[in-house]
A and B are shown apart, each in its own frame.
Chain A
Amino acid sequence: MEQQPLPGSGSMAEVIDRYQTTVYGLALARLGSPADADDVFQEVFLAYFQSGKTFRDEEHRKAWLLRTTLNLCRRLTHSSWRRRTVPLEEGQVSPLPFREPEENRVWQALTSLEENYRLPLYLFYFQELSTQEIAHVLSLRPGTVRMRLSRGREQLRALLKGEFDHE
């Protein structure tokens, strides 16, 4: 996923086009619900727009978006409104987001893991972040990230019954 610098600070549409899968994917991995991920996707880019923040480079911008996504996910899951309501989709099976059956199987296995393992694995494989970057995004020490990646891989491998050899 090679990235080219955005012209200037980047128009809003360009920023959304470039990072919508980044934000939405992390929100979906964190929350599991496409509707909630859609909500977080909107809130993140609204916050981005309203913050007027300038970034040193694309890595800085991406890191800010990832951190904001997690913060807003946390706010959503901790909101008193959410605690007192039952989403319509609860109990229903969310449509799987991928075209290939194998991709959906990998995603299902990933999303069945505990969050402690799911998010580092998602950021490592899907977002291609380094352990240092994951540590920054998740506010963990790099050693902890490596530990969770290692154990998450083990669990994923078990869930996929030996088919997961990607390193």
Chain B
Amino acid sequence: MNNVDFTAMQRQLTPSSQARAALEARLASAASRRRSSRWKYGLLAACIALALCAAPLVRQYVAPQHAVQSGTQGGISYEEYAAQEGTLTLPKLNIWDTQPPSESSANSYAAGEGVNRDAVQSDLEALLGGSVPGMLDWEGLSDLWGYLAFGPPKGAKEAVQPPLDELFYGHFYASCDWGKFTLMVGGLGTTVSPDVIGRPEDYPGDALTVIDGVEVRAARFTDADGTSYGEVSFTMKSGYSVFYSVNAPSSQQTEELLARLVQLAVVEEKLDPQALTPEGTSSNTGDAPAQDGALPYEDLMAYFSAQYGPDCYPDWFAGAWLDSVSGNLVVALAEGYDAAPLEQEVREAAGDAVTFSTARYSYAHLLSLQDQIDRRMQEEGTAYASWVDVMENRVRLELDASSSDLLAFLARLDPAGDAVQVTEGSAPTTDACYDTLPGAD
């Protein structure tokens, strides 16, 4: 493989000669039409120019604006989500018995050509923007020990020095009054390799979901020696990736967290729940309800995929999730359809342990809205997160700041104002960490 020339391979990826010929014919035809009706386009261009000139005034005084909530008031926090899911207290994370990382484990991985120094608690808090520690019940932190490493990754091809925040890696060992754990934080453009936590190559599966604007990935795998591991990772709005290594299932709190993440992941990502279930421990992890409903959910998704195509959903389907109390699958049907035959269809696909609700918007419609929002947000250049909240039957959009143009766009996209929930100003900041970087101007 070392001698595989990807550039040479890329050069061979050419369209067929028939496709090229057909394209040239279509282009010639389009050009001909364009020439013959050039005056029409001139007129159209003049109209557009006039409209564009007037657009800002129209937008300012006429165009409706989509409602936006403050990040401190609107939206749903992780704690609220946990409460809604039936858990009153958020499980603490990751009590496990480990040893502090060696200096070389940080240095050898990330920053052979950079700057390394000891980390202090304020580094971590600054890097995480105050979000994760609170979310994970960070109270009682008594000690933090580790290394920060800055600079190009070891073995990087290019010696060009990018911005410091693109080349950050931190390896932290922390202890508090309820346990010890290790976490790793990687900056933009820096790989935090699962290898650091001894992850084998053949992990059985993982899943991604979004909680409170944070992407969360949960994975469970078994090492070559039979030791079970769990991994929880977050990609923060700040761009930093956070990996928690979750050790053998001796800690109930660890298992609670994994079970919760699995439950979310199964709903959002059609994950195989068996792949993430700790072997022999499912009876005491509290995630049995999630497992009960997960298989019908998968059956339903497989049915949709076979019936309508991959990632395609019928217009009557408004979403599905697992009820945290009963563990049953809940399927929402879009309003305006005859429920009886659809409920029968769902039961035939997913079994009888399904309950139903109704919702205004179809899941396909919400996905379409999210897609349009994502495309628009590329032009906005602001940090954001979007996802379909099936339980609320709406698209959730969180962003640093909104513009009047964006809110007008969202108002056109969601004229009723209930299909998209916009939350502003909720992204965590990492500005404080730059003051602590050695050598930073």
Contact = CB atoms under 8 A, between A and B. Distances in A.
Contacts of A49: 27, 30-31
A146 B190 contact: yes
A12 B193 CA distance: 43
Given A139-B378, A143-B241, A166-B1, A107 B19 contact: no
A150 B11 CA distance: 25
Interface stretch (B2-10, B258-266, B346-354, B391-399): B2-10
A41 B233 contact: no
A82 B312 CA distance: 11
Contact of B23 (A1, A42, A78, A157): A42
Contact of A143 (B1, B186, B194, B206): B186
Interface string B365-381: 00000010011011000
Given A41-B23, A42-B26, A126-B6, A25 B13 contact: yes
B198 interface: no
Interface in A29-51: 34, 37-39, 41-42, 45-46, 49-50
A126 to B, nearest CB: 5
Contact of A41 (B6, B15, B309): B15
A143 B378 CA distance: 17
A160 B4 CA distance: 13
B193 A165 contact: no
Contact of B10 (A1, A38, A144, A158): A1
B20 interface: yes
Interface in A108-138: 125-128, 131-132, 136
Contacts of B186: 143, 146
B215 A144 contact: yes
A148 to B, nearest CB: 10
A56 interface: no
Given A106-B9, A132-B189, A166-B4, A142 B239 contact: yes
A165 B194 contact: no
Nearest to A132: B189
A65 interface: no
Contacts, number: 137
Contact of A78 (B194, B235, B312): B312
B11 A21 contact: yes
Contact of A164 (B1, B215, B374, B375): B1
Contacts of A98: 9, 12
Given A20-B20, A106-B4, A158-B202, A143 B11 contact: no
Interface string B295-318: 000000000000011111000000
Given A106-B9, A149-B191, A45 B14 contact: no
A150 B426 CA distance: 29
A34 B16 contact: yes
Nearest to A46: B26
Contacts of A41: 15, 19, 23
B155 interface: yes
A34 B13 CA distance: 10
B22 interface: yes
A160 B1 contact: yes
A37 B18 CA distance: 12
B28 to A, nearest CB: 10
B188 A143 contact: yes
Contacts of B166: 142
A20 B189 contact: no
B177 interface: no
B30 A46 contact: yes
A131 to B, nearest CB: 6
Contacts of B215: 141, 144
B189 A131 contact: yes
A167 B423 CA distance: 40
A53 interface: no
Nearest to B312: A83
Contacts of A160: 1
Given A38-B16, A150-B194, A142 B23 contact: no
A133 to B, nearest CB: 11
A141 B9 CA distance: 28
Identify which of B22, B155, B192, B201 gathers the most chain A CB atoms within 10 Å of its CB.
B201
Identify which of B8, B23, B233, B310 gathers the most chain A CB atoms within 10 Å of its CB.
B23
B240 interface: yes
Given A20-B20, A28-B13, A38-B18, A125 B6 contact: yes
Nearest to B22: A42
Interface of A: 1, 12, 16, 20-22, 24-25, 28, 34, 37-39, 41-42, 45-46, 49-50, 67, 71, 74, 77-78, 82-83, 97-99, 102-103, 106-107, 125-128, 131-132, 136, 139, 141-144, 146-147, 149-151, 154-155, 157-158, 160, 163-167
Given A77-B311, A139-B374, A143-B240, 6 more contacts: A16-B23, A107-B9, A126-B10, A144-B235, A146-B186, A164-B1
10 contacts: A41-B19, A71-B375, A98-B12, A99-B12, A128-B6, A139-B374, A142-B166, A143-B241, A146-B191, A158-B202
